[in-house]
């Protein structure tokens, strides 16, 4: 499904005349329906990999190949901006640690809008959005509030809800459990299990090594640059 | 709105110079002082700009004052003549090879049927002494409408959409606040359902809550009406919120373009980096 080959990324900071290498020589592949966990200490380049797969970062060298539904096998950095935007809308989801919101957009509208982008009709979008919000225990009383009034945990759950209603083929998770309590973590776990059962391919970064147990089929270690198969 | 890959507006090698130019600055590799020729003082306000605008997308244009953003927009709306370049509107029934070269009558028709423009300064887009309804009717008459009842209905519809209380629709915009004037301008620009909307610094100078209203309105128009837009702003926060793709301009040229999060999180050009590091 996704294949990363000899991937390196460095950032050139012009005003300091400096080039910093974030990651070097990363290679791995993830098959359809697998769940790859990426581990490593802070600053080891975990998020850099996810952002490079999502196309936010351009590689300094190497390739990221993705087997898309719309265009077949593509190099994610060799396709047009429009093609990448369309893959992001319809196939590749990304859950970051931060919630991006439009001003004056309510929680419910936010989830609905992420589905409308895909061309889902309004009524169906509303029904599914409500279901997702209920699933993630975001109380109905908050649906018409603006998300920037939310607690950290609520924001994170909302973020995941927005990504999941789109039923992505490939989902990238950047520390989706970072500020969650045990109960919410269980919810996220349950959702991820369901996604795996439904055939979604996942790549995630976790600090919480326990959380990965029994979920991840593979683990990539940033320090040793090796991949280890796990029994689920 | 489902996104397709249809180009609705295509620009190739567009340039605008103020002055005659000389042998020195006619050479593309000539070194200029910012955008001015050191020999003949010709200002190259926009230089060799090419881009496509796709159906239903919002394309952002950022850059400092004097980088050529507004000149670019004025040329697209025929407020200013282009020096060189081609401009194609493939979705227009006529779809000429270059609409910069068509008659002024035809340009007016394109302006009235294909384009909507919202200026930073509402004085440029509105007749301040005429009522809001009249302002909208003016645009509708220009695009061939003659039925008064229909035009009033259309005006009501769009004034309602931009949250202007209908009891004030016969008032002249000069009595309105800046934010209200801007919203009347948007209503006017939208009133004949143009497939392409040009927005030049529309939220600059508005207070935060009015700014939020206008941004919300722009997003809603994109979503519900599938209008393609070019949004010029020097405010990267607004670009981040609205735009699918973004071009960065400096001294009349496009120095970097890409998907908006690529520009904001992995800027390549020195100037773009400076710009991004300056976000509050």
Q: What is the pLDDT of residue B5?
A: 65
Statement to judge: residues B231 and B107 lie in one domain: yes
Per residue in B256-279, pLDDT (tens digit) is 999 999 999 999 999 999 989 887
Statement to judge: residues B211 and B101 lie in one domain: yes
Q: What is the pLDDT of residue B4?
A: 46
Last residue of a domain, one of B193, B223, B252: B193
Q: Mutate one of A17, A18, A54, A81 to test the B interface: name it (highest B CB count within 10 A).
A: A81
Statement to judge: residues B20 and B149 lie in one domain: no
The tally of domains found in chain B comes to 2
Statement to judge: residues B22 and B63 lie in one domain: yes
The parent domain of residue B210 ranges over: 4-114+194-279
**Selected residue with higher pLDDT from A119 and B45:** B45
B4 touches chain A (CB under 8 A): no
A120 touches chain B (CB under 8 A): no
Q: Which residues contact B104 (CB under 8 A, 6 or more apart)?
A: none
Q: Which residues of chain B make contact with A102, given a CB cutoff of 8 A?
A: 215-216, 219, 241
| Averages of pLDDT over each 10 residues, chain A, 232 residues | 94 91 92 92 90 94 94 94 94 86 86 88 93 90 90 85 91 86 84 88 87 87 88 72
Statement to judge: residues B79 and B168 lie in one domain: no
Q: What is the pLDDT of residue B2?
A: 39
A69 touches chain B (CB under 8 A): no
**Predicted-complex ipTM score:** 0.88
Last residue of a domain, one of B177, B193, B209: B193
Statement to judge: residues B42 and B97 lie in one domain: yes
Q: What is the pLDDT of residue A42?
A: 85
B258 touches chain A (CB under 8 A): yes
B163 touches chain A (CB under 8 A): no
Determine the distance in angstroms separating the CA of A98 from the nearest CA of chain B, rounded to an integer: 14
- Per the structure block, which two tokens stand in for B47? 């230089």
The C-alpha atoms of residue A28 and residue A170 are separated, in whole angstroms, by: 15
Statement to judge: residues B110 and B236 lie in one domain: yes
Instruction: Tell me the CATH number at B265.
Output: 3.40.50.300
Statement to judge: residues B151 and B251 lie in one domain: no
Banded pLDDT at B3 (limits 50, 70, 90): very low
Statement to judge: residues B172 and B92 lie in one domain: no
Q: What is the pLDDT of residue B125?
A: 93
Statement to judge: residues B9 and B91 lie in one domain: yes
Last residue of a domain, one of B193, B224, B254: B193
Statement to judge: residues B137 and B198 lie in one domain: no
Statement to judge: residues B149 and B37 lie in one domain: no
Q: Which residues of chain A make contact with B269, given a CB cutoff of 8 A?
A: 14
Q: What is the pLDDT of residue A192?
A: 87
Determine the distance in angstroms separating the CA of A190 from the nearest CA of chain B, rounded to an integer: 30
Residues 85-114 of A with CB under 8 A from B: 85-86, 89, 100, 102-105, 113
Per residue in B141-176, pLDDT (tens digit) is 998 889 999 999 999 999 988 889 999 999 999 999
Residues in chain B: 280
B244, closest residue in chain A (CA to CA): A85
- Annotate chain A with three-state secondary structure: CEEEEEEEEEEEEHHHCEEEEEEEEEEEEECCCCEEEEECCCCCCHHHHHHHHHCCCCCCEEEEEEEECCCEEEECCCCCHHHHHHHHHHCEEEECCCCCCCCCCCHHHHHHHHHHCCCCCHHHHHHHHHHHHHHCCCCHHHCCCCHHHCCHHHHHHHHHHHHHCCCCCEEEEECCCCCCCHHHHHHHHHHHHHHHHCCCEEEEECCCHHHHCCCCCEEEECCCCEEEECCC
B207 touches chain A (CB under 8 A): no
């Amino acid at each position: 499904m996704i294949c990363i080959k000899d991937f390196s990324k460095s950032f050139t900071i012009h005003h300091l005349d400096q080039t910093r290498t974030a990651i070097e020589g990363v290679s791995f592949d993830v098959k359809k329906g697998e769940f790859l966990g990426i581990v490593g200490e802070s600053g080891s380049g975990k998020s850099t990999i996810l952002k490079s797969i999502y196309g936010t970062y351009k590689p300094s060298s190497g390739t990221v190949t993705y087997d898309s539904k719309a265009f077949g096998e593509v190099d994610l950095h060799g396709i047009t901006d429009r093609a990448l935007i369309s893959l992001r809308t319809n196939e590749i989801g990304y859950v970051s640690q931060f919630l991006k919101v439009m001003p004056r957009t309510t929680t419910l509208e936010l989830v609905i809008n992420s589905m409308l982008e895909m061309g889902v009709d309004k009524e169906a979008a509303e029904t599914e959005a409500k279901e997702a919000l209920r699933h993630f225990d975001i109380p109905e009383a908050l649906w018409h509030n603006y998300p920037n009034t939310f607690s950290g945990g609520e924001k994170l759950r909302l973020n995941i809800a927005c990504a999941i209603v789109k039923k992505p083929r490939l989902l990238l998770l950047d520390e989706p459990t970072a500020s969650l309590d045990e109960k919410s973590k269980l919810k996220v776990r349950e959702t991820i299990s369901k996604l795996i059962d439904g055939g979604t391919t996942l790549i995630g970064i976790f600090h919480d090594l326990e959380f990965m147990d029994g979920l991840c089929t593979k683990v990539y270690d940033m320090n040793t640059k090796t991949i280890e198969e796990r029994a689920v | 709105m489902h996104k397709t890959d249809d180009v609705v507006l295509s620009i190739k090698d567009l340039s605008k110079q103020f002055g005659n130019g000389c042998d020195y600055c006619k050479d593309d590799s000539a070194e200029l002082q910012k955008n001015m020729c050191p020999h003949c003082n010709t200002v190259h306000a926009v230089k060799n700009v090419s881009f496509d605008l796709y159906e239903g997308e919002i394309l952002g244009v950022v850059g400092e004052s004097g980088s050529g953003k507004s000149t670019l927009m004025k040329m697209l709306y025929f407020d200013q003549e282009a020096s060189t370049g081609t401009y194609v509107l493939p979705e227009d029934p006529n779809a000429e090879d270059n609409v910069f070269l068509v008659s002024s009558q035809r340009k007016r028709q394109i302006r009235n049927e294909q384009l909507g423009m919202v200026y930073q300064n509402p004085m440029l887009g509105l007749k301040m002494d005429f009522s809001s309804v009249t302002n909208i009717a003016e645009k509708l008459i220009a695009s061939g409408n003659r039925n008064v009842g229909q035009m009033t209905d259309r005006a009501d519809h769009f004034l309602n959409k931009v949250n202007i209380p209908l009891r004030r629709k016969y008032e002249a915009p000069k009595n309105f606040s800046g934010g209200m004037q801007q919203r009347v301008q948007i209503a006017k620009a939208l009133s004949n359902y143009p497939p392409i909307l040009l927005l030049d610094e529309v939220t600059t100078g508005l207070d935060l809550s009015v700014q939020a209203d206008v941004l919300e309105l722009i997003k809603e128009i994109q979503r519900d009406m599938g209008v393609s837009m070019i949004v010029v702003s020097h405010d990267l926060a607004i670009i981040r919120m609205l735009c699918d793709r973004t071009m960065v301009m400096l001294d009349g040229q496009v120095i970097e373009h890409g998907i908006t999060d690529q520009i904001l999180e992995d800027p390549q050009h020195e100037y773009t980096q400076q710009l991004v590091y300056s976000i509050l």
